[in-house]
Amino acid sequence: MATSIALPQLGEGIEAGDIVNVLVAVGDEVRKDQPLAEIETDKAVVELPAPGAGRITRVSVKAGDHVKVGAALFEFEPGGEGAAPVGRGPEQPALQPAEGGPGRAAAAVAGVGTESAGGPQAVRLPQLGEGIEAGDVVNVLVKAGDSVAKDQPIAEVETDKAVVEVPSPVAGRVAGVMIKAGDHIKIGADLILVEGAGGATEAPAEKKVAAPAAAVPVPATTVAAEGPRGAVAATPVATDGRRVPAGPATRRLARELGVDLARVRGSAGGGRITVDDVKAFVREGGMAGPGGPGRGPIAPPLPDFSQWGPIERKPISSLRRKIADQMAVAWSAPMVTHFDEADITDLEAFRKRFAPQVKAAGGALTMTTIAVKAVVEALKEFPQFNSSYDVARGELVVKGYYHVSVAVDTPAGLIVPVIRDADKRTLREVAIDLNGLAQRARDRKVAVEELQGGTFTISNLGGIGGTGFTPLLNPPQVGILGLARGSVRAVWRGERFEPRLIMPLSVTYDHRVIDGADGARFTRRVALAFEEFAGKLLDV
């Protein structure tokens, strides 16, 4: 009697996957645990093993198909060695990492690898946070021969968000170390080998990064995706009519960046497009496809600069690579910058008067701190600036909360922590929170969740200098405020000229959802908030 083999649960929150390869055909004899297909989720490529020995009688899928959990993939007649007992269906097969593929990450979520029986266990780099695919090894904290306890830190890894300690999920003796300081490693990479490992568990809960709740993305796969006003958007296809080979994670990133996958050249086997291919496409000048900005020129290969003199190549950090990717994404949106000025003479006097009190409380009453409250006032009157544009659905997602991102200059690069619920905090509380966040950002100790969920960004370069600048958007936000250095000018005050402190400011906004007139009104509202702020109490 033929038995159906369905797609089992792939992992928490994963509802479907793409068939990468079908490894058997109708009539094939299979043994228990023999791989039947390779399936790509948004996290890894995994193999579907046969639940028992038998003969394949039906194959219901082909490479490129998008299938949901529970869908029937194969039918087979049990028989031979390892067959399921009569009267009992085969057990649901457990997915295994694909040989040599990125599926190792799926097996390494707990940070523990599986080696030969009785042999050492590989401790692997666990998932460090949503959207983090790799990191740089800063320090290796153990060496071969050391005894390690469960939860003991074994390495410090720098991601594009923070420096984190990786704990050992098991206790035992270090049999080998596979990494060194400076290595760039991906999720699932082997870190150390542990002999006599016991108590293998998931990485400690406090080391797991909780990602904020997010809207379920609209899948752009072989299953039609709902577009604006109920329209049906087909899966991207190349100009010759064939389906573009790419997995869910790649398609999701392409949707977020507005990239036409049909224009991207895949680097994986069979021309399959990877996440890195999409990022490279954007970095090199690729833009959105039909319906979006025109594609820019692809950057040509660099010449051999050494032919003209001595050179030095320096690797860039994970943070710098992330900044480069984000800037390329930001540049793909049609942006407009509006400039204005604010008379902050009275505000500066207010700031100097109360700064000692705030400092004594552990904060810093800076112009950036005041800008957080000024921005919130303007966002309440212009909610479209507190939104994100959902390209896939053709909708504007307007947030009912005010989490203000603040750009912090650090030795490692630009880091943008978030002041949550800025509308519910007093100026004094914002000053204290921002001071602590900025210090943790400079020390690379800021938590991943402290960098997520921002709705609008502030960038203040006034402490460095300049008369104005055009800040780039912080996707998926649609607005950012830039502050430059103030200067004393002679201003006509009705009867005479008076010296007044004037601060230049600028607001960059996404022109897809915000018109120029509203951009000017919002910028003026922010300027007025600065000019009127001195009349308000400190604790409001």
Which residues are annotated as catalytic?
Answer: 511
CA angle 518, 519, 525 (to 5 degrees): 85
Question: Nearest Cα to 391, choosing from 298, 312, 289?
Answer: 289
Amino acid at 387: S
**Which whole-number Å values give the CA distances from 11 to 1, 91, 111, 405, in the listed order?**
30, 17, 15, 32
Give yes or no for a contact between 415 and 319, defined as CB atoms under 8 angstroms apart.
Answer: yes
CA 469 to chain centre: 27
Give yes or no for a contact between 317 and 136, defined as CB atoms under 8 angstroms apart.
Answer: yes
- The Cα–Cα gap between 201 and 220 comes to 35
Question: Nearest Cα to 538, choosing from 383, 382, 431, 392?
Answer: 431
Residue that has been written with the tokens 């046969």 in this structure: 50
Give yes or no for a contact between 191 and 477, defined as CB atoms under 8 angstroms apart.
Answer: no
Pairing mode of beta strands 54-59, 29-30: antiparallel
Question: Beta-strand (E) ranges in 428-496?
Answer: 456-460, 479-483, 487-492
CA 430 to chain centre: 26
- The Cα–Cα gap between 144 and 56 comes to 47
**Which whole-number Å values give the CA distances from 263 to 246, 281, 285, 325, 328, in the listed order?**
12, 9, 12, 18, 17
Residue that has been written with the tokens 């700031």 in this structure: 351
**Which whole-number Å values give the CA distances from 316 to 118, 158, 322, 430, in the listed order?**
40, 12, 10, 33
Helix/strand/coil (H, E, C) string of 24-52?
A: CCCCCEECCCCEEEEEECCCCEEEEECCC
- The Cα–Cα gap between 94 and 47 comes to 9
Q: Which two tokens stand for residue 467?
A: 């008369």
Q: Which two tokens stand for residue 30?
A: 């299979």
Q: Which two tokens stand for residue 121?
A: 């266990």
Give yes or no for a contact between 528 and 399, defined as CB atoms under 8 angstroms apart.
Answer: no
439, 462, 505, 456: CA torsion to nearest 10: -10
Residue that has been written with the tokens 């200098």 in this structure: 465
Q: In sequence order, what DSSP letters do the residues of 212-227 get, joined into one string?
A: PP-PPPPP-SSSPEE-
